[in-house]
Structure 1
Amino acid sequence: MATLFSTDDASDYAIPQHRQAGVRETTESHPHTLLGRVSDAVADVFPPIQSGHSYHYATAGLWSSHDLLLHLLRQTGPARIWIATWSMTEDAVRVLVQGLASGLIESLDLLIDARVIRRNASAYAFVQAHADKVRITACHAKVSVLINQNWHISIVGSANYTNNPRIESGVVTEREDVARFHQNWIEAEMKKAKPFGDATPKKRSSQR
Structure 2
Amino acid sequence: MTDLDWAIGSNDLSWMTSDEMIERAKDFGAPRSHARRAAKRSLIAAMKHEIAADILPRLPEDGESFHIVGNGRFDYWSFIPVVCQLLATQGIVFYGSTWTLNRDNATELFDLLDRGVLGQATMLTGIFFKRREASIYAYLLDGLLKRGQRYVAFENHAKVTLLATPTHAIVIEGSANFTANPRVEQYVITNDRALHDFHKDWMESMLAKGDSWHGK
When normalised by structure 1's length, the TM-score is 0.71
Specify the SS of the correspondent of 2:100: coil
AA aligned to 1:191 is A
Q: Which amino acid aligns with 1:44?
A: D
Contact kept, 8 Å, 2:98 with 2:156, in 1: the verdict is yes
Q: What residue is the counterpart of 2:83 in the other structure? A: 72
Residue 174 of structure 1: aligned partner: 191
Query: Is it true that 1:105 corresponds to 2:122 in the alignment?
Result: no
Whichever residue aligns with residue 159 of structure 1, its letter is: A
Where structure 1 has 5 or more consecutive residues not aligned to the other structure, the ranges are 1-37, 194-208
Residue matched to 2:201: 184
Identity, % of aligned pairs? 28
Deviations 1:120-156 (A, max 9, x none): 1122111112221111000010000011111101111
Which runs of 4 or more aligned residues in structure 1 lie more than 4 Å from their structure 2 counterparts after TM superposition?
none
**Residue type matched to 1:175 in 2?**
D
* Aligned partners of 2:93 and 2:121 also within 8 Å: yes
Letter in 2 for 1:147: A
Indicate whether 1:46 and 2:56 are aligned: yes
Task: Name the SS of the counterpart of 1:41 in structure 2.
Answer: helix
Q: Which 5+ residue runs of structure 2 have no aligned equivalent?
A: 1-47, 211-216
Give, in angstroms, the shift of residue 164 of structure 1: 1.3
Distance 2:78 2:115 in 1: 16
Work out whether residues 66 and 96 of structure 1, in 8 Å CA contact, stay in contact via their aligned partners in 2: no
Contact between 1:85 and 1:160, CA under 8 Å: does it hold in 2?
A: yes
**Residues 169 and 193 in structure 2, CA contact (< 8 A), matched pair in contact too:** yes
- Residues 72 and 181 in structure 2, CA contact (< 8 A), matched pair in contact too: no
1:55 matched residue in structure 2 = 66
Task: Count residues with an aligned counterpart.
Answer: 155
* 1:61, distance to aligned residue in structure 2 (A): 4.2
TM alignment of 1:7-156, pairs within 5 A: 41-49=51-59, 50-76=61-87, 77-78=89-90, 79-131=92-144, 132-156=149-173
| Superposition TM-score, scaled by structure 2 size | 0.68
Q: CA RMSD in A?
A: 1.6
* Greater helix fraction, Structure 1 or Structure 2: 2
Q: Which has the higher contact order (CA 8 A, sep 6+)?
A: 1
- CA offsets per residue over residues 46-99 of structure 1, 9 Å max, x none? 130122210010001432122101100001123010111101110110111111
Q: Which amino acid aligns with 1:90?
A: R
Q: What SS does structure 1 have at the residue aligned with 2:209?
A: coil
Q: Contact 1:88–1:161 (CA<8 Å) still a contact in 2?
A: yes
Amino acid at match of 1:154: V
Kindly name which structure, 1 or 2, has the bigger radius of gyration based on alpha carbons: 2
Residues 1:160 and 2:160 are matched in the alignment: no
